[in-house]
Amino acid sequence: MTVDHDIPHNRLAARPPPQDVSLRPDTSPDSPLQPPSYAGRSIGQVCLSLAKMLVGKNKPAAPSTPETSITSAVLFVINHTILLQIFFLLSIYKSIQYLYRKVALKYLTLAYYPNKSPHVIRDDVNKLTKIPKNISCILNLKHEDDENGGIDGLINQISEIAAWSLSAGVPQLSIYEYTGLVNRNHAAYLPLLTKDLSKNLANYFGTASIPTYSIRIPHKNIITYSAPGTTKVDLEITLLSRVDGKPTIVELTKTMSDLAINNELSVNDISIDLIDEELVELVGPEPDLVVCFAPYLDLQDYPPWHIRLSEIYWEQDNKDVNYAVFIRALKLYAHCKINVGK
């Protein structure tokens, strides 16, 4: 609330006129030296001035003696030398760590080589105490000019992971690719994926005993079987993308809200179990193990509802889809202990 006070005219007239105060600092010899002011300067100018002061340029003039100048220079050199040594030590440590990881990954790639043989994979899996029933793999769509890039590289990666999963006895596999290139252009790319899958499985299991599989695209409500008329398959493959994550949860929320407004769904009936049931129907079951084939952990908007209890594995400095990372992820799952809270 603003209150206006009436000020007498004689009081305004009695005020002394403003004095001419110069904004320039007093530079007379008898006046004390004023510190540099950064008022009115932009952030870039302030940062530039501070940077010049740190390297010894554009320092504010200050009364100093030869002794203080020498001390300041010596301290600057010492601090600068220490920082440089720390920087070089960290660089050497990071380089050695990177080299060690690349060599170890190369060794594991040679040690765990499937050789397109299910027997080799089964021998590796039989040593494990347990295996996941549902595996999800996060793949990155590479540029066409890169090795194993483009749609052909992505289809080849899906085919290899499917063969590894079948050989390991995993009945369910979901492939998450952020852009959903295969999902969006399913009419053109789904036949190519089916053809490449069958060809790769024939190389692993032989043409006479190719396992059956199905490919499901939840957002498009599409499911394709390798053998027409088959309902029970050896491997269920689900193709996921960004739209199956948060957008699906938002879409489900809007649908439930509309049903509640139209009195078609009671508010008391909306529960965690109902949401879980609907999301499993729309997207799929929660995976036991999530394998990220990237040098760093990046879930890329993976469906958040479906990784509440999932084990997540990735290999640092790895950029390729290889069997060594796949089998090491299975070993991690075999030794993990999942505690489900109430």
Answer yes or no: do 310 and 203 share one domain: yes
pLDDT confidence of residue 25: 42
Q: Is residue 326 part of a domain?
A: yes
HEC per residue, 313-324? EECCCCCCCCHH
Q: Note whether 168 and 299 are same-domain residues.
A: yes
Q: SS3 helix, strand, coil % of the chain, rounded to 5?
A: 50, 10, 40
Q: With 60 as the cut, is the pLDDT of residue 334 above it?
A: yes
Query: Is residue 317, in this structure, part of any structural domain at all?
Result: yes
Same-domain check for residues 168 and 303:
yes
Residue 274 lies in a domain: no
In a domain, residue 252? The reply is no
48 or 173, higher pLDDT: 173
pTM for this predicted structure: 0.72
Q: What is the pLDDT of residues 75-91, one digit of tens each?
A: 888 888 999 999 999 99
CATH number, domain with residue 291: 3.40.1180.10
Q: Report the C-alpha gap between 340 and 308 in whole angstroms.
A: 10
From 9-23, 67-81, 166-180, 300-314, the region with the lowest mean pLDDT: 9-23
pLDDT at 104: 87
Q: What are phi and psi of 215, to 5 degrees?
A: -120, 125
Mean pLDDT of the chain, nearest integer: 82
Q: Is the pLDDT of residue 12 over 60?
A: no
Q: Which of 80, 107, 134 is the last residue of a domain?
A: 107
Please give the angle made by the CA atoms of 275, 279 and 281, to the nearest 5 degrees. Answer: 120
In a domain, 15, yes or no: no
HEC string of 91-152 equals: HHHHHHHHHHHHHHHHHHHHHCCCCCCHHHHHHHHCCCCCCCCEEEEEECCCCCCCCCCHHH
Do 212 and 290 belong together in one domain? yes
Domain span including residue 53: 43-107
Query: Does residue 342 have a pLDDT over 80?
Result: no
Q: For residue 11, tell me if it sits in a domain.
A: no
257 inside domain: no
Q: What is the number of structural domains in the chain?
A: 2
**Mean pLDDT, rounded, for 253-264:** 89
Looking at 78, 107, 136, the residue that finishes a domain is: 107
- Pick the more confident residue, 120 or 12: 120
> What tokens does 181 get?
């290139």
Confidence label for 123 from pLDDT (cuts 50, 70 and 90): very high
Both tokens assigned to 333: 């799952």
Q: What is the pLDDT of residue 118?
A: 92
Based on the domain organization, do 170 and 61 belong to the same domain? Answer: no
Are 64 and 143 in a shared domain?
Answer: no
Do 202 and 303 belong together in one domain? yes
Kindly state whether residues 98 and 157 are assigned to the same domain: no
Residue 223 has pLDDT above 50, yes or no: yes
